[in-house]
Amino acid sequence: MAEFQFTLIVDGPDLQDAALIDLLFDAGCDDATIGRIDGVQFVDFDREADAIDDAILSAVDDLEKVQGVHVIRIADAGLASLADIAARLDRTRESVRLLASGARGPGGFPKPVTDPRSRYRLWRWSEVAHWFKEHRGQLPPIRDDEAMALYNAALEFRHCRRLLEPSDSVTLRELVGMHSSGARAGAEEGRVELAAANQVALEGEVRRIYAEANAYADEVGGVEYGMNILYTPPRLRPKVLVVSTQGAGDDGVRQRTWPEHNQYAVSCYSFGKKMTADFDDAGMARMFRLETVATNLAFPQARDFDKWRRTAAGKGWLERSRAWVDELMGLMAPSVLLTYGSPTFQALTGMRKARGKPAEATYRGIPVVGCSHYSRNMATPEERRAVMARIRELTGG
């Protein structure tokens, strides 16, 4: 038997509770270490098994014996940074960077799965390993990484099914049809794997943005009324990315990670209710809840945006938030940007927007549809209907 090390991201009750620790031990997780960072619960395994398949399947089975525990994904499954690649190949990070950029070597290095403009890029390890075999005559071990990526794809797919249908309690074994070591799914699972691996990479980048924003808040303050970065989970290639000006209110809640669902769809505030009603009335309810991402041009909340943006803290936050919003756009690659409020439309497009009339432009090659803000009835019913009609036309919704 061999020992396999991996980390599972889990949802459910607090596994660091003393009573649950005993239950996990009895379930077979005596080789696990439990942790939590910024609200994300994870379990590190050092599991002995005949193969990686058995290690992952048994770990998921054992964790989910505890009522309410749901394994969401395998952390960083099948992905590697430049530093990871260098360490696995016993090379310097700089030598790998030169090969990846094409400044050295034969070229054709695999493309990163994350946005190439990102400061922290990730590659599919199996693609990198095969490239080194072809051009450098060395093939590092990759079977375990490919298997982990495949199982992670199944876990991600299962989690998405569960979000759509909460009563769906299919096990990992039932979903992928794997009951013995070495079993493999076919081409369809491979496509799911690729999409899931890209989603994992996206979430890693968004976690970095959350960490940077919270570190900036620790440094300069300005978030005493609260801070929101995303109102939805991050998604690859969403139909719509909503960008409003700034979260109103003063609840004092500082967001450390993204919500599990579209908060606007269940909002008790007028802005969320009106946006939800507009999408529903236009026949785009499903798109709004499952294919839309939402953020703000300014992450901190404030009672009065016009006053806030003129302060030193407001000016600094607007500059930093705008840079992070640009990163989010590049990472998620939405089909359409939907802006609310004239300041947001003008900040992204450089064009002024007339009150009460929809506007349209492009930003970084993405169509932008501008709507007046809902507050003080600036957005007329006619404008709201015209905006939704244009969104439907651009997205095929």
Mean pLDDT on 349-355? 88
pLDDT of residue 190 exceeding 90, the answer is no
pLDDT of residue 176 exceeding 70, the answer is no
Residue with tokens 């020992």: 3
Residue with tokens 């794809």: 153
Query: Which of 122-136, 180-194, 264-278 shows the lowest mean pLDDT across its residues?
Result: 180-194
Q: For residues 325, 327, 329 and 332, what is the CA-based torsion angle, rounded to 10 degrees?
A: -130
Task: Report yes or no: 79 and 201 within 8 Å, Cβ to Cβ.
Answer: yes
Which sign, positive or negative, has the C-alpha torsion 87, 89, 94, 97?
negative
According to the model, what pLDDT value does residue 285 have? 92
According to the model, what pLDDT value does residue 44 have? 94
> Mind listing the pLDDT tens digit for each residue in 63-82?
988 888 999 989 877 788 89
pLDDT of residue 18 exceeding 50, the answer is yes
Kindly give, in sequence order, each residue whose CB lies less than 8 Å from that of residue 92, ignoring residues fewer than 6 positions away. 86
pLDDT of residue 186 exceeding 50, the answer is no
Residues in the chain: 397
DSSP string, 58-126: HHHHHHTTSTT-EEEEETTTTEE-HHHHHHHHT--HHHHHHHHHTSSSSS-PPPPSS-TTSSS--EEHH
Residue with tokens 């379990």: 43
- Where residue 87 falls among pLDDT bands split at 50, 70, 90? confident
Mean pLDDT on 102-125? 84
- Where residue 7 falls among pLDDT bands split at 50, 70, 90? very high
Q: 65 phi and psi, to 5 degrees? A: -70, -25
According to the model, what pLDDT value does residue 174 have? 56
Q: Is 43 helix (H, G, I), strand (E, B) or coil?
A: strand
Q: What share of the chain is helix, strand, coil (3-state, %, to 5)?
A: 45, 20, 35
In whole numbers, what is the pLDDT of the chain averaged over residues? 84
Task: Report yes or no: 205 and 331 within 8 Å, Cβ to Cβ.
Answer: yes
Mean pLDDT on 114-137? 80
According to the model, what pLDDT value does residue 265 have? 87
Residue with tokens 């700034």: 246
Q: 352 phi and psi, to 5 degrees? A: -80, 150
According to the model, what pLDDT value does residue 182 have? 42
- Where residue 388 falls among pLDDT bands split at 50, 70, 90? very high
Could you tell me which residue, 176 or 322, shows the higher pLDDT? 322
According to the model, what pLDDT value does residue 127 have? 84
pLDDT of residue 164 exceeding 80, the answer is no
Q: Are strands 240-248 and 292-302 parallel, antiparallel or unpaired?
A: parallel
Global pTM reads: 0.55
- Where residue 359 falls among pLDDT bands split at 50, 70, 90? very high
According to the model, what pLDDT value does residue 138 have? 63
> Mind listing the pLDDT tens digit for each residue in 288-314?
999 999 999 999 988 887 888 888 888
pLDDT of residue 211 exceeding 80, the answer is yes
According to the model, what pLDDT value does residue 250 have? 62
According to the model, what pLDDT value does residue 29 have? 93
